[in-house]
């Protein structure tokens, strides 16, 4: 009888160690990946979690038994796998990581040739089915020559690629607080620091929780949570730094702090990065998600770009970027995608671009962000756990749709309003994995209106029905 593997999600593998994921399951997933995609060469790597190395080696064994040659590039972030797959012209890449999930979890992130994503409807569920069925256990299953395992590094080429996004000669004297959260960002920061020193770039790094440590003595790195921001914020203030940067465990997301130690919401970072690219090359296309939009749209229009709305989620953003040949795509959740990075997300490219932008404009980060927040104050994403999410969303739609001057259903519902008291909009969407509804509200230049309407929509959404 086939046992279902519950560690598969729509986009990756993520599971509790022991009950949902172990070395046996990792082997089966590697074998299934090889059987389904039939790649010749696959690059693998892993984060610092204490089980990542054993899971990675089991995964590699499964790949090799499917006839795949495996290159292990060691302790790396997810984006280093994206880079290596494209740079080496391999047929796929797999990172062992649980990112910001609890310490008793681990997982896998997959790409295929050219670092194209693999999601449920593009092969991941087929891999799941093979891993559950294990057809290779049948004596009549086709035998293949076992693949070869080797080790290597693409760090130097990866760092060189990162530096291609900016002009080091433009950088002004700067002090940066960098918080790796005891994840795997530290070795990349060290490599960048060495190059800066060699080339006389006046950037000083102040390192917080820098050493990779799979026990996570300072907590799981997830700077989206307010309780995970204090160390970075305090160090920025105490050292007089220009900017703070913190990463999650596999550093595919970075989070910025201004010179006052204040956290910069990801929505406004999308606008900063759009401006950074459009200053270099006007007319480019920028992809953005529907949750909060007005700031991004105005920045892109004022810089001579073309803003293109896309459904939230990395598979949708990457696919739309390829179709449009967009230079950049951004989500308010701190995922930032780049055409020249195989349309993949990176947690290193964003802060480099913002650093260059601050140097070119000769302004403080707080000044740049404050102007955008004043123009388009927003609620940030508010989650509501509801017994009947669908019915709750319908209730809100029924209450507001007649008053809306514009509506959009790209991802959930987005309604815009022009009332005597001002202009505002909201976005409402359901989680794919839990009974949670996510609300975002913004206004044009009126914080009080945004706060009033946020409370109003939430009251309708959370209304108890007997």
Supply 370's token pair.
């404050």
Residues in the chain with pLDDT values less than 50: 466
The predicted structure's pLDDT at residue 1: 53
C-alpha pair distances (Å), 167 with each of 126, 294, 424? 44, 30, 39
Q: Summarize pLDDT for 263-302 with one digit per residue, the tens.
A: 999 999 999 999 999 999 999 999 999 999 999 999 999 9
List beta partners, residue 206. Answer: 177
Full 3-state SS string of the chain: CCCCCCCECCCCEEEEECCCECHHHHHHHHHHHHHHHCCCEEEEEECCCCCHHHHHHHHHHHHHHCCCEEEEEEECCHHHHHHHHHHCCCCEEEEECCCCCCCCEEEEEEEEHHHCECCHHHCHHHHHHHHHHCHHHCCCCCCCCCCCEEECCCHHHHHHHHHCCCCHHHCCCEEEEEECCCCCCHHHHHHHHHHHHHCCCCEEEEEECCCCCCCCCCCCCCCCCHHHCHHHHHHHHHHCCCEEEEECCCCCCEEEECCCCCECCHHHHHHHHHHHHHHHCCCCEEEECCCCCHHHHHHHHHCCCEEEECCCCHHHHHHHHHHHCCCEEECCCCCEEEHHHCCEECCCHHHHHHHHHHHHHCCCHHHHHHHHHHHCCECCCEEEECCCHHHHHHHHHHHHHHHCCEEECCCCEEEEEEECCEEEEEEEEECCCCCEEEEEEEECCCHHHHHHHHHHHHHHHCCCCC
Q: Which candidate in 52, 99, 262, 392 is catalytic?
A: 99
Instruction: Tell if the pTM clears 0.85, that is, is over it.
Output: yes
The predicted structure's pLDDT at residue 465: 59
The predicted structure's pLDDT at residue 466: 45
Supply 348's token pair.
């290193």
C-alpha pair distances (Å), 183 with each of 49, 193, 357? 8, 17, 27
Does 19 participate in catalysis according to the annotation?
A: no
C-alpha pair distances (Å), 411 with each of 182, 291, 309, 347, 407? 35, 8, 10, 25, 11
| Interstrand relation of 243-247 and 254-257 (parallel, antiparallel or unpaired) | antiparallel
Q: How far is it, in rounded angstroms, from Cα 51 to Cα 49? A: 6
């Amino acid at each position: 009888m086939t046992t279902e593997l519950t560690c598969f999600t729509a986009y990756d593998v993520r599971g509790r160690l022991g009950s949902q994921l172990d070395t046996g399951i990792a082997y089966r997933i590697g074998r299934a990946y090889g059987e389904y995609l039939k790649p010749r060469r696959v690059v693998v790597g892993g984060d610092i979690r204490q089980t990542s190395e054993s899971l990675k080696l089991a995964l590699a064994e499964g790949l090799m038994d499917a006839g795949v040659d495996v290159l292990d590039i060691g302790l790396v972030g997810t984006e280093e796998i994206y880079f290596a797959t494209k740079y080496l012209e391999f047929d796929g890449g797999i990172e062992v990581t649980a990112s910001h999930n609890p310490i008793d979890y681990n997982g896998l992130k997959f790409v295929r040739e050219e670092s194209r994503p693999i999601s449920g409807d593009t092969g991941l569920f087929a891999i799941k089915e093979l891993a559950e069925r294990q057809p290779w256990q049948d004596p009549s299953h086709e035998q293949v020559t076992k693949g070869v395992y080797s080790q290597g590094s693409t760090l130097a080429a990866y760092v060189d690629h990162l530096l291609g996004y900016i002009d080091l000669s433009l950088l002004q004297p700067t002090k940066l607080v960098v918080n790796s959260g005891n994840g795997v960002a530290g070795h990349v920061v060290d490599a960048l620091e060495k190059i800066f020193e060699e080339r006389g770039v006046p950037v000083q790094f102040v390192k917080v929780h820098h050493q990779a440590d799979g026990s996570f003595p300072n907590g799981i790195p997830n700077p989206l949570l307010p309780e995970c921001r204090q160390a970075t914020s305090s160090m920025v203030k105490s050292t007089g730094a220009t900017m703070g940067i913190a990463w999650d465990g596999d550093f595919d997301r970075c989070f910025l702090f201004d010179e006052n130690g204040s956290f910069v919401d990801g929505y406004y970072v999308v606008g900063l990065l759009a401006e950074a690219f459009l200053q270099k090359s006007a007319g480019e296309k920028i992809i953005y998600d529907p949750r909060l939009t007005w700031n991004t749209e105005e920045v892109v229009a004022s810089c001579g770009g073309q803003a293109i709305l896309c459904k939230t989620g990395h598979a949708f953003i990457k696919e739309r970027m390829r179709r449009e040949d967009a230079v950049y795509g951004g989500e308010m959740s701190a995922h930032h995608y780049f055409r020249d990075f195989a349309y993949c997300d990176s947690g290193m490219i964003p802060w480099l671009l913002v650093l260059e932008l601050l140097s070119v404009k000769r302004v403080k980060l707080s000044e740049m962000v404050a102007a955008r927040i004043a123009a388009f104050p927003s609620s940030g994403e508010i989650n509501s756990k509801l017994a009947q999410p669908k019915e709750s969303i319908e209730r809100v739609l029924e209450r507001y749709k007649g008053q809306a001057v514009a509506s959009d259903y790209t991802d959930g519902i987005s309604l815009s309003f022009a009332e005597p008291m001002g202009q505002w909009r909201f976005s409402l969407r359901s989680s794919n994995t839990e009974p949670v509804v996510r609300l975002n509200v913004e206004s044009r230049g009126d914080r009080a209106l945004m706060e009033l309407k946020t409370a109003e929509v939430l009251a309708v959404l959370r209304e108890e029905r007997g």
